Amino acid sequence: MPDSNNNELIRSEALRLGFDFVGFARAERLDEEARRLEQWLHQGAHGQMAYMENHFDMRVDPTLLVPGAKTVICLAFNYHTEARQEDPDAPKISQYAYGVDYHFVVKEKLKALFAFMQEKIGEVNGRCFVDSAPVLERAWAHKAGLGWNGRHTLTIHPKRGSYFFLAEIICDLPLLYDDPLRDHCGTCRRCIDACPTQAIAPEGYFLDAARCISYLTIELRAEIPESFAPHMENWMFGCDICQQVCPWNRFARPHEEPQFEPHPDLLSMRKADWQALEEDTFSRIFKKSAVKRIKFEGLKRNIQFLKRSE
């Protein structure tokens, strides 16, 4: 039988490491989510993210990722900041990318938690995941009681909003499982109405990623279609609009992770500085940032596209 003491042991250590919420879900095939994913792919809503078509069975069944898996431990790590770029006309960066790349920061803490589990509980087999493998993170976050997936498709916690990174440990340790939270979006349509590219379906809960500004500025390797030029709202990397208008984010609190603090030059650069950006400046400001994913050429492409759309 699962030992509830193990749940509390893991939860307590996760909070000590800086995670904000921890939940536990039974590792099993996600049949309903599999149907939704199949529909999403069939409609081409993944754009040119061909990798989303790979490993379909693994995406919907964690026991294929970790044979013998019993539990998906789901964790949320806050990245919200009240820091803002000083020039209101400067091209904008999503706040999740202000500091050190979350893949490194959160993965390090996740590995520390897993090592703690093996030391305190005994032999536990499993794997750690931070947005880098075929795992349906938001589906698991919902099943583990970390929140509900809102109309914008992001996970919302009723006491803290949606500015969180999600992470998972899939392991063979049986634990007590949490209940999902019910949807609290009600009749609210703010994210749908605010999206400048109409990426969110009219009734919500379905995102056409190929129309999303985050996709256009990060995932899309080809040129951004000119039809989006009037609708970019000056975003050069990512987009926070659907979260900025969400009423639940009135409960968001600033993070307490020093590594997520932005490089000071990032906030002080003016519009003209970004338009004249050179590679050495890019390398200095984004040395350990998630922005490095699109490289200097990708960010320059985005900045030039914004300039053309003025």
Question: pLDDT by residue (tens digit) across 84-119?
Answer: 999 999 999 999 999 999 999 999 999 999 999 999
pLDDT at 4: 84
Assess contact for 77 and 83: CB atoms under 8 A: no
pLDDT values of the chain reduced to their tens digit, one per residue, 310 residues: 677 899 999 999 999 999 999 999 999 999 999 999 999 999 999 999 999 999 999 999 999 999 999 999 999 999 999 999 999 999 999 999 999 999 999 999 999 999 999 999 999 999 999 998 899 999 999 999 999 999 999 999 999 999 999 999 999 999 999 999 999 999 999 999 999 999 999 999 999 999 999 999 999 999 999 999 999 999 999 999 999 999 999 999 999 999 999 998 999 999 999 999 999 999 999 999 999 999 999 999 999 999 887 7
Q: Are strands 126-129 and 148-149 parallel, antiparallel or unpaired?
A: unpaired
Q: What are 22's strand-pairing partners? A: 75
Query: What is the DSSP secondary structure assignment for residue 214, as one 8-state letter?
Result: H
pLDDT tens for 56-75 read 999 999 999 999 999 999 99
pTM score, whole prediction: 0.96
pLDDT at 2: 77
What are the residue ranges spanned by the domains of the chain?
A: 1-310
pLDDT at 1: 67
Q: Are strands 155-156 and 148-149 parallel, antiparallel or unpaired?
A: antiparallel
Catalytic residue status for 57: no
Which one of the listed residues 87, 131, 172, 273 is annotated catalytic? 131
Alpha helices (H) in 43-178, listed in sequence order: 56-60, 62-65, 102-120, 137-143
Give the closest residue to 93 by CA, choosing from 217, 249, 211.
217
Q: How far is CA 135 from CA 27, 56, 129, in A?
A: 12, 10, 8
Separation CA 152–CA 148 (nearest Å): 11
